[in-house]
């Protein structure tokens, strides 16, 4: 009897541990704005959870698409490999963000999603999500907003790539990371970069040497303190001025 009870508790705890309804990312992720009852219906849908080891891929371009993925913990990059072997990084994703939205269009993934550290994801079968969002108004609305947000984000990157110089791009990049870490309860002033200089460069349309040089210059000028992948933002106002003060 006691044993059964203990077992039940364990099961309950295990379920709670991975349920949307108790996930501490629910305000950032898909569940945003849902009632408790609605949350439970979403829970039923998110059955598959997977660990992805650093360096492994969650999905690869040209694989058939059937689910989108919410990051429970960890850090990802998405990239496209060009014919000549070079890569273009199209984004970095952290906990609470969704991966795979690009695959809806053609029902095939159009990029690779690669873990930059050991990560956990929740797979959300897309057909079922569409079904459920036809019943839960709030889910439908929020999902549309998430997709739209991705479009807005991409426009921001386009602007960055189209009009900014190297210093402005990197300042904007650091501020963006800072703000996203902050939204997840981490320090906005001090963090580890999960990606290499080359990956940053690919994302920002710069070469790794340029990334390195600009980091050094930022340090000389007292904006940040860099040591390898560890970044401390010393003068956040200075970085903001760099981004806005374009000319």
Partner DNA sequence: CGCCAACTTGATGGCTGTCAAGTCAGGTGG
Partner DNA sequence: CCACCTGACTTGACAGCCATCAAGTTGGCG
Q: Return the range that interacts with DNA (CB under 7 A); candidates 4-12, 19-27, 41-49, 211-219.
A: 211-219
CA distance 116 to 108: 23
Cα 97 to Cα 73: distance, rounded to the nearest angstrom: 10
Q: Cα separations (Å) of 91 from 114, 176, 200?
A: 11, 12, 10
Residue 93 binds which entry of a second copy, DNA, none, CB below 5-8 Å type-dependent? none
State the angle between helix axes of 126-135 and 36-45 in degrees (0 to 180), rounded to the nearest 10.
160
Q: Tokens 């929020």 belong to which residue?
A: 142
Smallest CA-to-CA distance from 98 within 159, 162, 158, 142 is with 142
Of the residues 87, 120, 190, 198, which one makes contact with DNA according to CB under 7 A: 198
- 18: its two tokens: 């991975």
CA torsion sign, 218 to 219 to 224 to 226? positive
CB closer to DNA out of 69 and 218: 218
Told to check if 197 binds DNA by CB under 7 A, we report yes
Among 17, 54, 60, 149, binds a second copy (CB under 8 A): 149
Q: Is 81 in the site for a second copy (CB under 8 A)?
A: no
Kindly state whether residue 209 participates in binding DNA, applying the rule CB under 7 A: yes
Stretch that binds a second copy, among 44-52, 141-149, 208-216, 230-238 (CB under 8 A): 141-149
Please pick, from the candidates 120, 150, 190, 235, the single residue that binds a second copy as defined by CB under 8 A: 150
Cα–Cα distances in Å, from 79 out to 20, 60, 100, 115? 28, 9, 12, 11
Please, what is the minimum distance in Å from the beta carbon of residue 161 to a second copy?
Answer: 4
Stretch that binds DNA, among 35-43, 75-83, 146-154, 204-212 (CB under 7 A): 204-212
Least distance (Å) from a second copy to the CB of residue 158?
6
Applying CB under 7 A, which residues contact DNA? 165-167, 193, 196-198, 205-213, 215-216, 226-229
């Amino acid at each position: 009897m006691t044993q059964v009870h203990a077992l039940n508790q364990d099961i309950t705890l295990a379920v709670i541990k991975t349920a949307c309804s108790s996930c501490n990312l629910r305000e950032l992720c898909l569940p945003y704005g849902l009632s408790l009852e609605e949350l439970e219906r979403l829970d039923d849908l998110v059955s598959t959870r997977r660990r992805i080891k650093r360096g492994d891929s969650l999905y690869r371009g040209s694989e058939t698409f059937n689910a989108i993925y919410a990051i429970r913990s960890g850090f990802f990059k998405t990239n496209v490999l060009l014919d000549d072997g070079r890569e273009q990084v199209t984004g970095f994703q952290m906990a609470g963000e969704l991966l795979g939205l690009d695959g809806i269009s053609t029902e095939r993934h159009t990029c690779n999603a690669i873990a930059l550290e050991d990560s956990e994801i929740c797979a959300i079968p897309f057909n079922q999500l569409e079904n459920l969002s036809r019943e839960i108004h709030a889910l439908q609305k929020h999902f549309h907003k998430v997709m739209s947000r991705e479009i807005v984000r991409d426009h921001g990157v386009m602007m960055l790539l189209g009009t900014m110089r190297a210093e402005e791009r990197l300042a904007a990049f650091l501020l963006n990371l800072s703000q996203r870490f902050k939204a997840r309860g981490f320090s906005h002033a001090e963090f580890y970069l999960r990606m290499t200089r080359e990956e940053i460069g690919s994302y920002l349309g710069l070469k790794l040497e340029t990334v390195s040089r600009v980091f050094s210059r930022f340090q000389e000028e007292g904006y940040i303190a860099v040591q390898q992948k560890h970044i401390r933002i010393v003068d956040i106002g200075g970085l903001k001025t760099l981004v806005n003060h374009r000319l």
